[in-house]
Chains A and B, each alone.
Chain A
């Protein structure tokens, strides 16, 4: 049976925004044969995100403890807040002592720090990065811009509420939050995970259609599969 978002993709094929490298095309394989590829279908996985059921009793507690003590942060500075990340990794504040470290790729990380305002263009990349991260994954949203638009409440290019597009575990208020506030935010996230409340990735899977609808409302040039990783 054809799912709802498959149909949406098909419509989008005809849209003008499809990037040239994503168009259906014929390529020659190294052995000389000609094959037709459809990048949006062939290059990406079409599975929806799945809910992760918690294990029982102490096993889950142990897993949560392990998750909380190794927060690996994706090094993607999305806004002004990223100026406070270098002080965090350097001697004065040194977040490494709490088991928090920066990773260069989404595949290796499980915390995404949305550091400030998100323009629509960055939101698209942020969603893609978020979906590439392995579950369980957590989001810390930095600054008042992610809460209600903050400084940029009337801007035509920045979003006002982050939790309509991706689920947020911890908000850190301020413009911009100090490094100490960030450390406190990581501490709060640890508490949440240890008490078994870091379930936002599952929430994303449950309300997948709602999130996708919101995302598509503002990302007009949706030229990628719905869940692509």
Chain B
């Protein structure tokens, strides 16, 4: 008797669901073959606050739909009635997990439209803040992937180290989660005394963590069996569905704004983003692990290369009378999830005419996720969501 066959639980689903002429499944809920299952917004496996409407046949998903809007606060409207400097406290709350790219793109938009040059030291400090933000997100995100397969240990390790990085942020900026460190024209302060030494101690912990998490996740039979081959994104979908960042790099397409449009000081740093071609959950997780490794390296490089003293803020006009001439621009940077951009239109008044934030989750969590969930297993939905690193507040803003 073939034992491997005996333990294969994948049922043969070639005959159903029945498809209509357009290749869409015919779903009749009253036939008792299908069940409508809602996952979220109150569900531990759903990242953030959004919900999935799944139509399932057995434990296989035949149709899926995502519902967002649970975190909508109307930032883009609120910023239209605030002066440029007042936009900052609202802007950073657009993506809660990683607030620094928000600050950077808003500052960069304002600087570009009003023609302000940022001093050298401030650019280095900005680069450092952005990389630290990426570090703290990835410390939660990398082991979070194992968490979706009920392997919670790495999550505990990662969160502990993340807290230490948040301490460094507190030292640098005064804020734990929201920093408001990057302002138009520059940054708010220089590095405190001994910051580099304490940061280096934390980075040593991260190095250890990287080795441990490699043993815990990527050499783990359960993780491998469940993640390899799950939710493959074909290369043709990259542009069709708008896939950015690590998810695109896992499919072998180089999408990293730091490399393709170097901003701040990234052109002076030595790094090579990792790409692979498997494009499944395992590959995306591996890309994130390499990103984390690269971030540690980048922070070391930045701390070695950056000047200790210098001008940190270019003179800016009186914020009360700061009118920016009519114009429009789009600024992008690389967040931990992919290209993160802001489109700003000004009309010569002291408030922005229109601000539009475009994060990668906007397409990842809607069009792409809906497509990826088809034919997946119910138990894998959380893993697929986390592998795309969806952040609901940046979808609805």
Residues of A within 8 A of B (CB): 21, 27-28, 30, 74-80, 82-84, 86-87, 90-93, 102, 104, 106, 117, 119, 121-122, 125, 129, 151-152, 154-158, 175-176, 178
Residues in A whose Cβ lies below 8 Å from that of B36: 21
List the A residue with the shortest CB-CB distance to B97.
A83
Residues in B whose Cβ lies below 8 Å from that of A155: 73-74, 77-78
Main secondary structure of the interface of B (DSSP, over half): loop
- A122 adjacent to B41 (CB under 8 Å): yes
What are 18 A-B contacts with C-beta separation under 8 Å? A28-B30, A75-B42, A78-B49, A79-B49, A90-B156, A90-B159, A90-B160, A92-B159, A92-B163, A102-B44, A104-B43, A122-B49, A125-B41, A129-B42, A154-B78, A154-B81, A157-B74, A175-B178
Q: Does B119 contact A (CB under 8 A)?
A: no
C-alpha gap A117/B74 in the complex (Å)? 12
Residues in A whose Cβ lies below 8 Å from that of B93: 80, 151
- B159 adjacent to A87 (CB under 8 Å): yes
- B177 adjacent to A119 (CB under 8 Å): no
Instruction: Taking A83-B177, A84-B177, A86-B140 as given, write out 20 further A-B residue pairs in contact, using a Cβ cutoff of 8 Å, ordered by the A residue number.
Output: A27-B30, A76-B41, A79-B49, A80-B93, A80-B96, A87-B162, A87-B163, A92-B160, A119-B69, A119-B72, A119-B73, A122-B49, A129-B42, A156-B77, A157-B72, A158-B73, A175-B178, A176-B177, A176-B178, A178-B176
7 smallest CB-CB distances across A and B, nearest first, come from A90-B159, A76-B42, A80-B96, A92-B163, A122-B70, A91-B160, A104-B44
Q: A83-B96, A90-B155, A90-B160 are in contact. Are A121 and B176 (CB under 8 A)?
A: no
Name the interface residues of B57-95: CB closer than 8 Å to any CB of A: 69-74, 77-78, 81, 89-90, 93
C-alpha gap A196/B94 in the complex (Å)? 40
Residues in A whose Cβ lies below 8 Å from that of B70: 78, 119, 121-122, 125
Closest beta carbon of chain B to A60's beta carbon, Å: 31
Q: A27-B30, A152-B73 are in contact. Are A91 and B156 (CB under 8 A)?
A: yes
Residues in A whose Cβ lies below 8 Å from that of B140: 86
Closest beta carbon of chain B to A153's beta carbon, Å: 10
Pick the contact of A30 from B32, B48, B71, B393 — CB < 8 Å?
A: B32
C-alpha gap A106/B50 in the complex (Å)? 17
Residues in B whose Cβ lies below 8 Å from that of A125: 41-42, 70
List the A residue with the shortest CB-CB distance to B95.
A80
Q: A86-B140, A122-B41 are in contact. Are A79 and B71 (CB under 8 A)?
A: yes
C-alpha gap A121/B72 in the complex (Å)? 9
Among the interface residues B71, B93, B156, B178, which one has the most CB atoms of the partner chain A within 10 A?
Answer: B71
Residues in B whose Cβ lies below 8 Å from that of A129: 42
- B73 adjacent to A86 (CB under 8 Å): no
Q: A27-B30, A129-B42 are in contact. Are A121 and B160 (CB under 8 A)?
A: no
Q: A90-B156, A106-B42, A121-B70 are in contact. Are A151 and B32 (CB under 8 A)?
A: no
- A122 adjacent to B71 (CB under 8 Å): yes
C-alpha gap A28/B42 in the complex (Å)? 31
Name the interface residues of B38-53: CB closer than 8 Å to any CB of A: 41-44, 48-49
C-alpha gap A84/B140 in the complex (Å)? 12
C-alpha gap A93/B167 in the complex (Å)? 13
Residues in B whose Cβ lies below 8 Å from that of A154: 78, 81
Residues in B whose Cβ lies below 8 Å from that of A178: 176
C-alpha gap A91/B161 in the complex (Å)? 10
Residues in A whose Cβ lies below 8 Å from that of B156: 90-91
Residues in B whose Cβ lies below 8 Å from that of A156: 74, 77
Closest beta carbon of chain B to A176's beta carbon, Å: 6
List the A residue with the shortest CB-CB distance to B75.
A155
C-alpha gap A91/B77 in the complex (Å)? 40
- A121 adjacent to B42 (CB under 8 Å): no
C-alpha gap A125/B67 in the complex (Å)? 13
List the B residue with the shortest CB-CB distance to A83.
B96
C-alpha gap A79/B162 in the complex (Å)? 20
Residues in A whose Cβ lies below 8 Å from that of B81: 154
- B44 adjacent to A151 (CB under 8 Å): no
C-alpha gap A177/B294 in the complex (Å)? 32
